[in-house]
Amino acid sequence: MTVRFILSFCFCVFAVSWSSKSEAIDTHYDREAIRRKIIENLRPIRTCYEAELGKSPNLKGKVVLSWTIGDKGQVTKADIKSNELGNDAVPNCIIGLIKTWTFPKPPPKQTIDVDGYPFFFSN
């Protein structure tokens, strides 16, 4: 059996918002850094999906995740915003990965909220 994995995300729209511990907010953050980090981690993301695909051969759909990038670039919080796969293991696995990633540091005293990054899966 040949399994073809499709993860579509490159041209998806996602929201990035800033939170600040001070009055001033610098909204300059490299959104492409978020996409680059995901591209760097395609193989582990694919592994999350393929582990469940073996159990559910018709597994496909969209997962939308949100996470917060802390002041040192670390992920401080990650959540499932929506899950159309009908399987919780895949998004929970990806969240586990995201929590280990380090992004470029946001401006001083600020955090970055990546709100609604979509992942599309099809076999």
Catalogue all structural domains in the chain, each as residue range(s) with its CATH number.
12-21+28-122 (3.30.1150)
Residue range 69-97: mean pLDDT, rounded: 96
Cβ–Cβ < 8 Å for 122, 6: yes
| The pLDDT of residue 104 is above 70 | yes
pLDDT of residue 108: 85
The pTM of this model reads 0.80
pLDDT of residue 24: 42
In terms of DSSP H, where are the helices of the chain? Answer: 31-40, 42-53, 89-98
pLDDT of residue 27: 56
